[in-house]
Amino acid sequence: MLIHRTRVIQNLLITKLLKIPHSVTMSFNDNRRWVNHYAGPETPVSTICEQFSKFEGGKIELSKDDESGVAILKINHPERRNALSGSMMVDLWNAVNTLEDWKTGKGIILHSVGETFCSGGDLNTVRQISNPDDGYKMATLMHDTLTRLHQLPLISVALIQGKALGGGAELATSCDFRLFTEKGEMGFVQGRMGVVTGWGGGTRLVQLLGQHQALELLLTSRQIPASEAVTLGLANGITKSVELSEAVEETKQWLQLKLNHAPQIVHALKQIVATARAVPYEESLRNERQVFAMLWGGDANKKALEQNIKHK
Ligand SMILES: CC[C@H](C(=O)O)C(=O)SCCNC(=O)CCNC(=O)[C@H](O)C(C)(C)COP(=O)(O)OP(=O)(O)OC[C@H]1O[C@@H](n2cnc3c(N)ncnc32)[C@H](O)[C@@H]1OP(=O)(O)O
């Protein structure tokens, strides 16, 4: 008790002496290390959207094709190398809301226009929100959006046709798959910008590559080319075409090969994988048997049994 009280007083004094903003807490943790963490208010995402929609520039456009079941999410801000402004973060949040309600959809392709995939946060927006409270708000909004994009029951693929830098690399990790053109590159340059991953990309990178590869890419900020991205397992292939419209067509064909099953099966399979990467083992198994039981003996299952299918 006495140790705890001393530590609280010690922490308060240090915070005051160093003139650290009230939302940032410095404390001595149990491993006797100084840690610096944000301890400000939580803001509802809808309130953050209102604030961030004022930082204008560029657009994220969603188009759904009911016939193929594939939607296109297009990042359109070429004059700023497809950096995400505040209003584009809100566009993306709205697009994910719409996609969550798309019951007949099966897949999404995320791509951009021009020669850069995405140069991260729009530095014009970033400069206007350059304080811990607003940084926490941006991270809250982007964590909400990209986690829900990652967890959608649709199969998502990002086409990286140029540089994916900082937040742009983080955005790409929120898709199930990534295809690169020969000109695609990915770099977690946040460290060089004096920050760390703010859109959840650090966590997803560890899940994708394991802690050692993730640390190496985060610490060096080096930009990896398409061939190395494939070797590392960050890219799932390289398109034959470098030209954007052809690469988008190739990506559609690549994705369609994975979308032959009925929407309910695609959704159920994605739900199993998305749950497995987000929750502990036992919880994931419970989810898997619940999803399985919903389909077992259902129409599609009975029809398949009647056909006496041979998997030769
Ligand atoms: C969690 C988010 C995190 C954060 O914001 O903290 C990050 O995303 S960190 C990463 C932030 N991004 C950058 O630092 C990218 C900086 N830009 C570049 O390295 C280059 O511009 C590059 C490689 C993206 C493109 O090079 P290129 O030679 O093709 O074009 P220019 O450099 O001439 O750029 C053209 C024009 O675009 C503007 N630009 C580029 N990136 C951004 C950006 N992220 N935000 C705002 N504006 C950007 C650049 O300033 C030029 O404008 P101009 O008015 O023509 O000078």
- What are the φ and ψ backbone dihedral angles of 194, each rounded to 5 degrees? 75, 20
CA 79–ligand 1 middle distance (angstroms): 10
Split at pLDDT 50, 70, 90, the class of 17 is low
Q: Are 180 and 223 in contact (CB under 8 A)?
A: no
Shortest-distance atom of ligand 1 to CA 124: 46
Q: Is the pLDDT of residue 162 over 70?
A: yes
Split at pLDDT 50, 70, 90, the class of 295 is very high
Residue with CA at minimum distance from ligand 1 atom 25: 81
Site to substitute for ligand 1 among 89, 123, 130, 140, most atoms within 8 A of C-beta = 123
Q: How many CB atoms lie within 10 A of CB 204?
A: 21
Residue with CA at minimum distance from ligand 1 atom 16: 119
Structure tokens at 156: 């998502």
Site to substitute for ligand 1 among 89, 118, 119, 170, most atoms within 8 A of C-beta = 119
Please list, in sequence order, all residues whose beta carbon lies within 8 angstroms of the beta carbon of residue 71, skipping any fewer than 6 positions away. Answer: 62, 63, 64, 65, 99, 102, 105, 107, 108, 109, 154
Shortest-distance atom of ligand 1 to CA 142: 1
Percentage of the chain lying above the pLDDT 90 cut: 87
CA 108–ligand 1 middle distance (angstroms): 26
Q: Which residue has the tokens 């099953």?
A: 261
Residue with CA at minimum distance from ligand 1 atom 51: 80
CA 128–ligand 1 middle distance (angstroms): 16
Shortest-distance atom of ligand 1 to CA 165: 10
The average pLDDT across 27-35 equals 65
Residue 238 confidence (pLDDT): 98
Distances (CA, A) of 149 to 53, 98, 172: 19, 11, 11
Split at pLDDT 50, 70, 90, the class of 5 is low
Residue with CA at minimum distance from ligand 1 atom 38: 80
* Number of residues written out for the chain: 312
Strand ranges, E, within 78-235: 107-112, 155-160, 163-165, 177-180, 185-187, 223-225
CA gap 198, 129 in Å, rounded: 13
Residue with CA at minimum distance from ligand 1 atom 21: 81
